[in-house]
Amino acid sequence: MDRVALRGLKARGHHGVFPKEREEGQTFIVDLVLGLDTRPAAAGDDLAKTVHYGIVAEEVVAAVEGEPVNLIETLAERIAQVCLKHEGVEEVEVCVHKPDAPITVPFDDVTVTITRSRV
């Protein structure tokens, strides 16, 4: 399976279990790896036969900016389902970064990574 990756998509969301997270929001960063067969697109040099990653990026940002959820696990699942709605995308790996998570010790990042496929 071929891969199309989008790294570092940034959006502001209001996800989290604490009131401050819901009220103030924070930046979330999303990395995606889309699994699909790119041969038909390459053979005809045809965008219609592959995934339009610009549209996927816009939809993922909209998902992050959308209805708040408590867990980034839930957000990752929402993003995966957005990606799998695109014809040709057979699987997706989603990594959601929460670099401003409310943790009381020094840290660089918190991530949740999931892989989902059409079944």
Catalytic residue IDs: 98
Asked whether the beta carbons of 8 and 67 are under 8 A apart, the reply is no
Tokens 């699994």, residue located:
35
Asked whether the beta carbons of 40 and 53 are under 8 A apart, the reply is no
Q: How far is CA 42 from CA 1, 16, 47, in A?
A: 14, 41, 9
Cross-strand bridge partners of residue 35: 3, 91
Using DSSP, state whether 1 is helix, strand or coil: coil
